[in-house]
Amino acid sequence: MGSPDWPQGLRIRSAPGTTLVLGSCFWVAVLDGNVVGIVAARAHEEDNTVELLRMSVDSRFRGKGIAKALGRKVLEFAVVHNYSAVVLGTTAVKVAAHKLYESLGFRHMGSSDHYVLPGMTLSLAERLFFQVRYHRYRLQLREE
């Protein structure tokens, strides 16, 4: 078997006491005793999907496969609990997040320029100078 494509010794642990409702969880990536990344999953029972959210890796540890390991944990969680797809939305401008989701097998489902961030007032100035593009991704695990 080949060696994993993330740092040796990396552990992905579910954070104790963070299961808010059935089907939701929060994980931390731990390397040499330090938390170096986080990710969360939230279940949407109405359409049998899991939403991946809060993906972030400490800037000093990026480019080592840690986000990929965290993303795979969410996919594993969705498979084990019989959800049919994993979905996510992102306003990330940088290429890293998009490459990450593509490399995990997500499909880009479209984007919208009319996303309103919390706290935005939709004033004329905001509409002219502060457009946020919101991208939706989906990874289908099985047909319904």
Query: What x/- string results for residues 60 through 89 when contact with ligand COA is judged by CB under 6 A?
Result: --xxxxxxx---------------------
Q: Which is nearer to ligand COA, 96 or 117 (CB)?
A: 96
Distance between CA atoms of residues 43 and 53, nearest Å: 11
Q: Map residue 105 onto helix, strand or coil.
A: coil
Residue 113, Cα to own-chain centre: how many angstroms? Answer: 20
**Other Cβ atoms within 10 Å of 4 Cβ, number:** 11
Q: What one-character DSSP code corresponds to residue 64?
A: S
Whether 87 and 137 have beta carbons less than 8 Å apart is answered as yes
Shorter beta-carbon distance to ligand COA: residue 34 or 123 = 34
Min dist. Cβ of residue 6 to ligand COA (A): 7
- Give 99 or 127: the residue with its C-beta nearer to ligand COA: 99
* Cα–chain center distance at 31: 19
Assign 117 to helix, strand or coil: coil
24 is an interface residue for ligand COA by CB under 6 A: no
Binding mask 97-136 for ligand COA (x = CB under 6 A): x-xx--x---------------------------------
- Round to the nearest angstrom and report the end-to-end CA distance of the chain: 33
Q: What is the nearest approach in angstroms of ligand COA to the Cβ of residue 125?
A: 26
Which residues here bind ligand COA, judged by CB under 6 A? Answer: 55-57, 62-68, 90, 92, 95-97, 99-100, 103
